[in-house]
Amino acid sequence: MNLLITLTLLSTVAMSGFRRLKLMTGTFMIQSLSIAFICFFLGYETNEAHYYALGMLTILIKAIVIPIIMNKSINKLKTAREMNMIINGYWSYIFSSIFVVIALMLLKNFRQDLIKTGLVLILFGTFILITRKKAINQMIGFLTVENGIVLIELSTVQMNLAIEFGIF
């Protein structure tokens, strides 16, 4: 479990320095996959079916369909890199580490690590949304925010499957 959370966090932080668009989608895929495995793990622990369903959905949509669509549209583009970011890679690393600290400080009363990771993902997703100029990078930022919400929702309240699908 801790390993999976670490993987999610690492892939998120790693995203901040990448310029190549394909590398971005790749890391995003790793992030979604590790979230899906977190779902499976929770399902295995609690024996509830809807965790499995959520994990399958995450794999199907966020790890397979969306990266394929993105790679297709990247191939159509002329430039494969994000050239002028508003905040460059070096500072993005620093910011993402600041986000981790903020999340740990704000939510130190919570036992679970999932909700902290979720907050980091939301903060970092909005950060990417603001500082990148390419539309695809902004999409990835938005999807990262969504992944963060899935994590928060997993850790706090267990919704019905229909509603989980709606959030999706």
Partner 1 sequence: MELWLIFGLIALSTLISFLIKDIKTISCINISVSIINFIACILLVIKVESFDTLFYLEKILFLDSYSTVQLFIISGVTLVSSIYSYKYILNEVKHQIISIKKAKIFYILFNLFVFSMYLISFANNVMIMWISLEATTLATAFLIGFNGDKLSLEAAWKYIILCSVGITIGLVGIILLIYSTGSNVTMENLNWTYLSKHYSTFDITITKIAFTLIFVGIGTKAGFAPMHTWLSDGHSEAPSPISAMMSGILLNLALYVVVRFYVIIKNIDNLQNFNKLFVIFGVLSLFISSFSILKQNNYKRLLAFSSVENIGIISLGIGFGGYFGLFAAVLHSIIHAFGKTLLFLVAGNILENYKTKRIDKIHYLFKFMPINSAFLILGMLIITGAPPFASFFSEYYILISGIKSGHFIATIIYALCLLIVFAGFLVAFMKMIYTKQNDVEVVKLEEDGNNIVPLIITLVFVVFVSAFLMDIYIT
Interacting residue ranges for partner 1, rule: CB under 8 A: 122, 126, 129, 135, 138, 142, 145-146, 149, 152-153, 156-160, 163, 166-167
Residue 123 beta carbon to partner 1: minimum distance, rounded to whole angstroms: 11
Q: How many angstroms separate the CA atoms of 112 and 90, rounded? A: 30
Q: Which helix (H) or strand (E) holds 121?
A: helix 113-131
Q: First vs last Cα of the chain: how many Å apart?
A: 23
- Closest CB to partner 1 among 113 and 153? 153
- Closest CB to partner 1 among 16 and 147? 147
Residue 91 beta carbon to partner 1: minimum distance, rounded to whole angstroms: 21
Torsion sign over Cα 102, 121, 14, 132:
negative
Closest CA to 145 of 129, 125, 159: 125
Q: Quick check: helix, strand or coil at residue 81? A: strand
Residue 160 beta carbon to partner 1: minimum distance, rounded to whole angstroms: 6
- Closest CB to partner 1 among 102 and 129? 129
Residue 45 beta carbon to partner 1: minimum distance, rounded to whole angstroms: 17
